[in-house]
Structure 1
Amino acid sequence: MSTKVWLSTHGAALDPEDATISVFDRGFLYGDSVYETMRTAGGRVVELAAHLDRLHRSATGIAFEVPFDNAALEAAIAETLAAAGNSDSRVRVVVTRGTGPISIDTRVAEDPVAVVIVTPLALPPPEAYARGISALLVGEREGARLPGLKTGNYLGNILALRQAHEQGADDAIMCNAEGAVAEGATSNVFMVVDGQVHTPSLSTGLLAGITRGRVIQLIEGLGVPVQARTITPEELRAADELFLTSSVRGVMPVTTLDGRALGTSAGPLTRRLQQAYDAFLAAVARGASA
């Protein structure tokens, strides 16, 4: 297993120690970049087209015209995966606005840079999926990223997760300025109440996760009602089941919230969704799904 990095400035997959960018790169200086994180299943990238489409939408949201189309990025990803040679990998694609003088003025930026980072896929231990993790509700923070966009400026999420860790929790669930539940530090949030699934609506300013969309489809496929709406912290604390979704972790149960137990293991509906998502990944590995 190995880590490889592809840079548009080199046009090749490199060892990490050989992969360098300019200290004047705006992604380094200001977080002026967009990115996506994916995983593979059976060596195939899960939901690749959806992730790359969102990368371009995020770029549009920050008035950044990415000069690399999906075909070019797909080729770079394939080259880097082949060079790494892992059985399964975590894939991160970053596109920065480029370099220029030290100035926040985007008009001086030139030569955008694309980066593909492939590392061996590392998942939480099986007991985490069975027992669940703990989470802490965190209020809105100054410096939070632009709503709905996946940019390199993630300081709000970083500080939220740090606060959770400082208080002994595994993860953070963030609220928006109005106090409504929005999303996890790197995930989307779902709760189960009386056999129905609820998730914060996009109007709360959350990032529309690719896995969030897939899980909603899986919930509907199970014949379970699912609703996107405004959710209060009080409702979340009173949920029968709670779980997070993300591209790398999949469906992760939360069994402790703000120090209070919601259960001792993943709830019955959460387990069904874990099985459904595992079946989806198996289909991707067989080449039967994107």
Structure 2
Amino acid sequence: MQTAAAPTPYCWLNGAIVPAAEAAISVYDHGLLYGDGVFEGLRFYQRTPFRVERHLQRLPDSAAALGIVLPYDANALRQGINALISRYDGESGYLRLVVTRGPGNLGLNPRNCATPNVFILADQLSMASREAQEKGLKLIIASVRRTVGAGLDPRVKSLNYLTSILARMEANVAGADEALLLNERGQVAEASAENLFIVRQGHLLTPPTSDGALAGVTRSVIMDLAQADNIPVSERTLTPYDLYTADECFLTGSGAGLLPVAEVDGRPLRTSPGEVLQRLRQAFAALIAQECGA
């Protein structure tokens, strides 16, 4: 039996839709030269973007923190997203909405970057193998650290992901599926591309943004679903000890969904996937079906 061909990726670039392979921006764009820009990643199901308004609220906050003036308002971006989904030959997929500083000169100074570039990619994205999704990921704690307080606020979803890339490279060398980042105080921040939750004695815990975690959209959804299901949930500073001794651990993200964790630094967790995660997976799927008809 032949496998169905993957849908052709498309790109909405400054108002025009083209095949992603044909989209192009200047090599002088500071997003390319210096990682100077912001982005959002979101899923769509049954051609309906999930929690698009929350992403369109966070994007201008990230841009404002970097002093980037968005050339399109939320309504224009919403229309661009809908037009792109209509063009895309797939009922479900992943969207990457990117805003760069725009083209300038070779110096760091962004003064000459007059017009930001905005593009949206529609494609498929898988963050873990089927086996890892079912049985759980193997995690390591990376040696690189997430800087908080003195560096870029982790609530800014910027294009500069070098710390996360270095962490993921460590995971690759160690034969792990993903890497966790600690902050400079040795406290848990998040995974390289996902937020983290643990369960202790039925209580759901996640690091606060002040410890270096992104204020993730899916993270917020899971906290709301937990409260609705009478699962106690709170933000709390966590250390590696808390991970090693957790009853459950899982990762969340717009791209990743909900991923169970089976072990951390070679230490198997008590359950994977655990009861709390399975309850939240069911509630998350029901919410997607309710909002997107999936």
Q: Does the pair score TM above 0.5? A: yes
Task: Indicate the residue corresponding to 1:6 in structure 2.
Answer: 12
The separation in 2 between residues aligned to 1:155 and 1:128, in whole angstroms, is: 25
Go from structure 1 to structure 2 and tell me whether the alpha carbon gap of 1:18 and 1:152 turns closer, same or farther (over 3 Å shift): same
Structure 1 residue 255 displacement after superposition: 0.8
**Contact preservation (8 Å) 2:47, 2:91:** yes
The separation in 2 between residues aligned to 1:174 and 1:159, in whole angstroms, is: 10
Go from structure 1 to structure 2 and tell me whether the alpha carbon gap of 1:147 and 1:93 turns closer, same or farther (over 3 Å shift): same
1:10-89 matched pairs, under 5 angstroms: 11-89=15-93
The separation in 1 between residues aligned to 2:278 and 2:230, in whole angstroms, is: 15
Task: Indicate the residue corresponding to 2:168 in structure 1.
Answer: 161
* Residue identity in the other structure for 1:50: R
Residue 216 (structure 2) aligned to one of 196, 201, 209: 209
Residue 90 (structure 1) aligned to one of 87, 94, 97: 94
SS state of the match for residue 213, structure 1?
A: helix
Structure 1 unaligned segments of length 5 or more: list them.
none
Residue 136 (structure 1) aligned to one of 113, 134, 140: 140
**Contact preservation (8 Å) 2:47, 2:86:** no
**Contact preservation (8 Å) 2:146, 2:181:** no
Structure 1 residue 66 displacement after superposition: 1.3
- Number of aligned residue pairs: 285
- Output the TM-score relative to the length of structure 2: 0.92
Structure 1 residue 123 displacement after superposition: 6.3
- Output the TM-score relative to the length of structure 1: 0.93
Go from structure 1 to structure 2 and tell me whether the alpha carbon gap of 1:124 and 1:147 turns closer, same or farther (over 3 Å shift): closer
Structure 1 residue 74 displacement after superposition: 1.0
Segment drifting more, 261-270 vs 180-189: 261-270
SS state of the match for residue 227, structure 1?
A: strand
Q: Would you say 1:112 and 2:116 are equivalent positions?
A: yes
The separation in 2 between residues aligned to 1:264 and 1:102, in whole angstroms, is: 52
Task: Indicate the residue corresponding to 1:251 in structure 2.
Answer: 258
Structure 2 unaligned segments of length 5 or more: list them.
1-6
SS state of the match for residue 39, structure 2?
A: strand
Structure 1 residue 125 displacement after superposition: 4.9
* Residue identity in the other structure for 1:241: E
**Contact preservation (8 Å) 1:32, 1:153:** yes
Structure 1 residue 193 displacement after superposition: 0.5
Deviations 1:160-193 (A, max 9, x none): 1111111111011111111100111111000001
Share of identical aligned residues, percent?
36
Cα-Cα RMSD: 1.7
**Contact preservation (8 Å) 2:30, 2:100:** yes
Q: Would you say 1:103 and 2:107 are equivalent positions?
A: yes
**Contact preservation (8 Å) 2:11, 2:18:** yes
The separation in 1 between residues aligned to 2:243 and 2:146, in whole angstroms, is: 23
Deviations 1:91-150 (A, max 9, x none): 000011111111111211111110110013546455433211111112444888642210
SS state of the match for residue 121, structure 2?
A: strand
